[in-house]
Every structure is written in C-alpha cells, then in structure tokens.
Structure 1
C-alpha cells in the first residue's frame, strides 16, 4: 500500500514538473501571403476563409482555415467568361459575398477596351462555393451605365448598398467614388450619388505618360460602433504613392447624401520605403477566426516603380482603432517578418 501511495505521489510530481506539451503552439506567417495577386478579398463562413484576387482572365477562389495558410490552400477556377463578350477580358477586383443563402461574386470586366469596363455578378446556390455552377446574373449598373469598377456591398440598417469607382462621363481622367441602393444582389435601384473625388493634394499623384489621371477607387465599407467608414485607394496604381484614404459617415445619417460623408484630410496607409513596401492599397478587411482581431488585407510591391503588374502581392496585418473611432493601420510591415497568425 505504501508503495502505491509513493508511486502515485511521484507520478503526480512528474506531471506537475513536466513541460506542458499540450499548450497551444502559436502559429506565425510572413508576408506576402502569395507570390502575386492584386486586389485581395476574403469572406469567412462556417469555419473557412474564401479568398479571391484579380487574375485578369477568370474567377478563382482559395479555401483555407486561416488566411495565413493561403500558400497551401485548396483553390479552384470557378468561372471563366465565354469569349468575345463585353465581360470576357480584363477581369478585375473580384469580391465574394454570401447573401440570402447564395454566393455572389462581383467583378469588373470589359471586351478588351478599358472604356467598356463595367461591373458584373455571378451566382452559386451550393453551400460550398468551390462546388456547383456559377451562373452570370448580369451587369450591375445604375441608369447612367458609365465606366465602373470595384463594387463593394454592405447591408446597413436592413438596406443593401453598393459603392464603386467610376467616371463622371465617358472619358478617362478622374475616378470618383459613387454609392447607390441595391434592390437585390444584382440590381441597383435609384441613381448613383458621388461621395468622393480625388480633390486633396495627396490624392493627385497620377501622371500617366503626358497626362494626369486622378484616382479614387477600391472602396471598402468598414462599420465601427456609431460610424460607417469607407476606406478607398487613391493615386494611380502605376505610382508608388498608391495609398489608402478614409470617408466617414454617422451610422444614422442618410448614406445617399454626399454631405453625410466626411473625408479624412491625410492618407491612413502609405508606402514605407524603409520597410521595402511600395504602393500599398486596394484593401479589404477580415476578422480573425475567433472574431477578436481586426485585420487589413492589401496588395503592395516590394520595389519602387513596379506599377500595376504582376509584382503586386497580397499581405495581411492586424490593426486597431483610434480614440475617435477611426482605424489605425500603422505602417506596412516589411516582407519576411514573422507575424502571429490570426487568433483562433
């Protein structure tokens, strides 16, 4: 009996002093998340992130438990446009949304002529967006049917809204941010309302050859407490000054009244030459799997002068909030730095 008691005591002591091998091991990752990929976007549903970015030729989805695992994630081309259509070329900035039990992917495309860029949406009724068939629902346009890219949706106080980047007329030179109500996921109801133009000095770095093209694009809704923000990209993607700006409205304001939206006077996220990050922009947002952390997903170049091509790659970093309720993104983090993965 004494032997059994002594043995029990020794085993208990060993258990107390042995290393806790069952403790959770903190996962880390480094940016970029993939070697290349512009205009990154993701959605979290039923334990998985569904991620997409611009490929130019089709719609592709990555499926991962954690966005830091994109390099090894399952991926699939889910939709390729039929040739010789008005939406068969230059497929840009896809976004994936889950609305009323169905999946939708919004994107901009044209027939090979940039002047004809418009927004379109495809739909899938399967529970898993990598399965089933994606069907074109049609063009997403207001009555003016002007050049349009970068649509982003939000349901606010029971009403769906879409914000996008577009031209006032039919000639390139300035991209504005517009907003409108949605009747359903593929139909804009009512007229578009312009809520931002590139009119601040820091937004007007867009020389393209002998001309200047001033840009506000890539709007992303970001609700927080009693505010509704729109984070947008400014300056041409062909410049190293591609940056993020901020529009803010009171959550109870009329979102279709331009006066409801106030523009932050300075950019919130800019290049960091000292960290080897240039032209950061065209962002989106996601929560950590446990819902406790806010993360920004964006693309950037590693070197100056790399422009709008395939050098752009997706990156992620955690952000927090300022006392006035505006997001604080900090500086773009140097590629290769070990970061803690989003918390699970």
Structure 2
C-alpha cells in the first residue's frame, strides 16, 4: 500500500513539475541559430534561421517549445549557381494563401549576394514541394541581403540591406514596391544610412590596410495602431556593439525617404551585466491568443564571439509606450524564467 502511495505521489510531482515547465521557458530557444524569423498560420508557428547551406523550417504550437518542434529541410540549392552558397536570413511568409521563403545567397563571392524567393502552394510547408522562383531585385540589381516583405495599405513592399553602388564599405536600408511576391516594381529608395555613433562600430582593417564598414541591416516592418515602424540592426555583427534601432513613418507613404524618422539612440543593445552581447537581427510575432507582442532576436553569451555559430535565438515581451512606439528594454539573462507567450 505504501509503495502505491509513493508511486502516486511521484507521478503527481512529475505532472506538477511538467505543468510548471510547460508554462515557462528560458533563453536561448536553441543552442545556435542566427537571424530568427517566424510566421503564425492556422494555429502553428513556422520558424527558420540562417543555416548557411540550406533552408530549414520548424513547426510548433508555441515558440517557447522550439526545442521540441518538428523540423524539415525544405530546400537545398543546386551546386555551381549564383545562389549556391552563403544562404542568409531566410524568412517565411504566407501571402494570399501561398507560402514564400525569401533569402540572400551568392556563388561563394560576397559581392554577388542577392535576394531570392521560393514558393509553395501546399497547406503544410514542411515538405519538399518548394519551387525556386528566382531573384528578387530592383532595376539597379546591387548587392542585397536581409529582405523583409510587408503589406501596408494594400500595397506589398520589400525592405532590405544593400550597397549604394558595387563596392562594400556601407550597408544602407532600401525600400521598393512589389507588384507580386516575386517582383519588385520600380526603383528602390534609400531610407536609412549609418549616421549615429552607435551605428558605426565595425573596423575590419589592419594597420597596413585600413577598412571600415558601416552597417544598417536586418530591417523588419512593425505596425501597431496604424503606426508603421522599421526596426533594424546597426554596427557590424562581428562587434559586441551590434544593436537595434527604430525608424518611424510620418504620413502614409513608405516610399518617401523624408517621411522616415530615425531614433537617435538604439532601442535594444548589449547588456554585459546580463551576459548578453551583440543582440540583433530580430523579427516580431504575436502570442497564440493575439494579446501579446514579442521580439525574436539572436545574441551571444560572451564578448567577442562575433558572427559565428555562437549566436543563439532568444525572445522576450515587447510593450507599447504612450507615444505609440515599441519598448523592448534590456536583453534578459538566460537565467531568467519567463512565462510562455499567452495561449
């Protein structure tokens, strides 16, 4: 009898422990994964991040449970093409009941990085039915990475990080209209360049060969109460000073460069006291019940870890201030136990 009672108590304690764990989580969501992105469709989150040589999707009811999510390699590039290497920052989007994945890739030479798109008409995108649809480029067809698409006032736009010309040295943020999910229509417009001191960290030179790269990259649209924002990453990802900045649209024309106002200070940056370095290349999502806003981002746990596979995906709540702008606060340490996104 005592044996049965002790077994029952053990089971109840296990269930209680499992229930508590299921309602909370700790960062990081995975041990490695840069440039995290997700979309929520019909009760599931579809998540992806940079793998370098292929595109992988994860599927889960709650991103807090990403470690237990099912996953599938949905596309591996053919060899010896202009898009066979350095597959960066994939994003999965659901537009007009069809799936699209946008990503940057090159042929092994960074100068050839461009944006490309895949498409899939299946209900569940975790399969091998993805079709390569080609390059997505403005008429200038310059270096481009980190494309993000968004529909605003019934018009589809793409924003990305690119070069003004054909040589490296500065990454700006550009915007263009799209006539469909595969096609940029018309010229690009530059809406942000690195200007503030916090955007200018990134010396890649040596004593005999000085070189400095100024970076604005990873732009993400964010809309709240009819206000449109772009959150972007600035400074070199190889620096601990990699951080997030905010741009706000005045008026209703995203193609008007003068309508975008950049906040003078970063809105999210390293926290040595919390052992979080180089937080950046974010995306946004809502909780399953739609009542909470969250940010996905990658970061390092130690200084000097740069742009390698030490970067891990993390998430925390986003709040809205009285002036209508987003507030993220300080990157939380991995020791903090957070409640899962509201279901």
TM range (shorter): over 0.9
Shift of residue 131 of structure 1?
A: 2.6
Given that 2:157 and 2:176 are in contact with CA atoms closer than 8 Å, whether structure 1 keeps it comes out as yes
In the alignment, what sits opposite 1:18?
Answer: none
Task: Work out whether 1:343 is the aligned partner of 2:342.
Answer: yes
Task: Work out whether 1:107 is the aligned partner of 2:106.
Answer: no
* Aligned match for 1:190, one of 186, 203, 208: 186
Provide the rounded CA distance (Å) in 1 between the counterparts of 2:335 and 2:55. 28
Kindly report which structure 2 residues correspond to 1:51-90, keeping only aligned pairs within 5 A, or say none. Answer: 51-90=47-86
In the alignment, what sits opposite 1:221?
Answer: 221
Distance 1:83 1:132, change over 3 A: closer
Kindly report which structure 2 residues correspond to 1:122-271, keeping only aligned pairs within 5 A, or say none. Answer: 122-210=118-206, 211-250=211-250, 252-271=251-270
Provide the rounded CA distance (Å) in 2 between the counterparts of 1:226 and 1:284. 19
What are the superposed Cα offsets for residues 58-89 of structure 1, whole Å, 9 maximum, x if unpaired? Answer: 00000001000011110000000000000000
Provide the rounded CA distance (Å) in 2 between the counterparts of 1:296 and 1:324. 19
Shift of residue 206 of structure 1?
A: 1.1
SS of aligned partner of 2:319: strand
Provide the rounded CA distance (Å) in 2 between the counterparts of 1:128 and 1:317. 27
In the alignment, what sits opposite 2:23?
Answer: 27
Given that 1:125 and 1:132 are in contact with CA atoms closer than 8 Å, whether structure 2 keeps it comes out as no
Shift of residue 226 of structure 1?
A: 3.1
Shift of residue 132 of structure 1?
A: 4.8
Provide the rounded CA distance (Å) in 2 between the counterparts of 1:78 and 1:226. 35
Residues paired across the two proteins, number? 321
Structure 2 residue ranges without an equivalent (≥5) = 1-15
In the superposition, the TM-score normalised over structure 2's length comes to 0.92
Task: Work out whether 1:310 is the aligned partner of 2:306.
Answer: no
**The structure with more radius of gyration:** 1
Structure 1 residue ranges without an equivalent (≥5) = 1-20
Shift of residue 255 of structure 1?
A: 1.0
In the superposition, the TM-score normalised over structure 1's length comes to 0.92
Provide the rounded CA distance (Å) in 2 between the counterparts of 1:224 and 1:130. 30
Shift of residue 93 of structure 1?
A: 0.2
Shift of residue 233 of structure 1?
A: 0.1
Kindly report which structure 2 residues correspond to 1:6-25, keeping only aligned pairs within 5 A, or say none. Answer: none
Provide the rounded CA distance (Å) in 2 between the counterparts of 1:132 and 1:101. 18
